């Protein structure tokens, strides 16, 4: 009996040695296949809060992930030379490619008609490099608000008011009076949006017209693909002015380790005044989510301790301080606050 028990333990130990590494390897290989939410029309309804970071940003490239949020941010930056939009999502890439063409139309009012109302013949008359398939995709994913995972921001853009909030995340939670407010009367969703301001539209239009919008499908968690970006920066002798990595530090996206590795890889391509922008969803109200923005100059980033984690830093901010710290830019001369050990 003792022999049998010992034999069984040896077999079990051998099995664990073989099976666990295989499982671990499988998980690592399939990280890129993890599903995550994508928002071609940005979920960030108050992205105009970035304007305080961008108004004095040094001359150079605005580098970011995602779709509409990048166009809006770029339109607020006086010293922008190029907009670089990279992402791993085919849906995001498709929006960026189509929108870059639509933005070549000179007038904002005409762009809005192309975005929301015009038929394919009107698109064709503009000599855009767009196909019927592109139009059909746009009609399905951008114009059809009911087809969006989160159509509220585009509803505000188009109608100037928010749709009725009918339920919370949990249907058992009753709505409060604040959940029933019209966000169009509460928040400034027009600030920093080229959809509403001719001067901002003119800036993003010029970038599109002069082919200064670079769009690429890139996995920023892979060293080889980060090197594609680095090589392009070297070839063009270009500088990053703003590195807007949104909330890529989350485990659903890059995670902390790859997020920090990405930042370290791109730091040499911007001066100490270049800015890293990060975002966190921190509040829900009226069926909407709201964001907190923080900025760090590259000089400040170089001061980070080796074990710095963005998620920990943001999570450590007490809820009562969220609104106070929102929009803070930390420079090389600043020390980051420590809210809890």
Query: For 30-87, what is each residue's pLDDT tens digit?
Result: 334 445 567 888 888 899 999 999 999 999 999 999 999 999 999 999 999 999 999 9
* pLDDT at 169 (0 to 100): 56
- Looking at the chain, how many residues does it have? 341
The tokens describing 171, both together, are 């249907």
Tell me whether residue 258 is in a domain.
Answer: yes
Tell me whether residue 156 is in a domain.
Answer: yes
**Residue 206 vs residues 19, 64, 104, 203, 275: alpha-carbon distances, Å:** 56, 19, 8, 5, 23
Tell me whether residue 2 is in a domain.
Answer: no
Tell me whether residue 185 is in a domain.
Answer: yes
Domain count, the chain: 1
Cα-to-chain-centroid distance, residue 37:
11
Closest listed residue to residue 218, CA positions, set 231, 234, 202: 231
| pTM metric for this prediction | 0.86
- Distance (Å, whole) CA 225 – CA 146: 35
Which DSSP string corresponds to 281-337?
EEEEETTEEEEEEEEEEHHHHTTS-TT--HHHHHHTS-GGGHHHHTTEEE-TT----
Q: Over the stretch 121-142, which tens digit does the pLDDT of each residue have? A: 999 999 999 999 999 999 999 9
Q: Over the stretch 215-246, which tens digit does the pLDDT of each residue have? A: 999 999 999 999 999 999 999 999 999 999 99
Tell me whether residue 248 is in a domain.
Answer: yes
The tokens describing 309, both together, are 């984690």
Tell me whether residue 310 is in a domain.
Answer: yes
* pLDDT at 3 (0 to 100): 39
**Do residues 78 and 223 lie in contact, with contact meaning Cβ atoms separated by under 8 Å?**
no
Tell me whether residue 137 is in a domain.
Answer: yes
Which DSSP string corresponds to 215-256?
EEE--TTSHHHHHHHHHHHHHHT--EEEEE-TTTTSTTTT-H
Residue 158 sits in which domain range? 41-330
Tell me whether residue 273 is in a domain.
Answer: yes
């Amino acid at each position: 009996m003792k022999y049998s028990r010992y034999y069984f333990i040896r077999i079990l130990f051998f099995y664990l040695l073989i099976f666990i590494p295989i499982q671990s390897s499988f998980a690592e290989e399939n990280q890129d296949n993890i599903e995550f939410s994508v928002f071609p029309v940005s979920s960030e309804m108050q992205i105009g809060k970035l304007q305080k970071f961008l108004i004095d940003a040094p001359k150079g490239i605005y580098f970011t992930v995602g779709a509409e949020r990048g166009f809006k941010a770029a339109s607020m930056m006086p010293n922008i030379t190029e907009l670089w939009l990279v992402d791993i999502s085919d849906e995001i890439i498709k929006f960026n490619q189509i929108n870059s063409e639509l933005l070549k139309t000179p007038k904002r009012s005409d762009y809005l008609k192309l975005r929301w109302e015009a038929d394919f013949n009107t698109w064709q008359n503009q000599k855009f490099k767009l196909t019927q398939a592109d139009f059909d995709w746009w009609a399905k994913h951008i114009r059809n608000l009911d087809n969006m995972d989160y159509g509220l921001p585009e509803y505000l853009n188009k109608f100037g008011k928010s749709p009725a909030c009918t339920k919370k995340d949990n249907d058992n939670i009753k709505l409060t009076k604040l959940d029933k407010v019209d966000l169009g009367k509460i928040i400034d969703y027009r600030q920093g949006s080229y959809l509403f301001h001719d001067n901002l539209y003119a800036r993003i239009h010029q970038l599109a017209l002069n082919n200064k919008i670079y769009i690429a499908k890139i996995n920023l968690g892979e060293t080889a693909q980060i090197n594609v970006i680095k090589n392009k920066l070297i070839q063009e002798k270009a500088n990053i002015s703003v590195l807007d990595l949104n909330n890529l530090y989350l485990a659903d996206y890059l995670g902390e380790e790859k997020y920090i590795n990405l930042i370290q890889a791109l730091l040499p391509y911007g001066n100490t005044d270049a800015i890293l922008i990060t975002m966190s969803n921190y509040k829900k109200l009226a069926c909407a989510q709201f964001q907190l923005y923080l900025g760090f100059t590259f000089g400040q980033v170089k001061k980070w301790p080796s074990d710095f984690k963005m998620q920990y830093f943001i999570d450590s901010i007490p809820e009562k301080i969220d609104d106070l710290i929102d929009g803070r830019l930390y420079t090389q001369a600043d020390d980051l606050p420590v809210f809890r050990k």
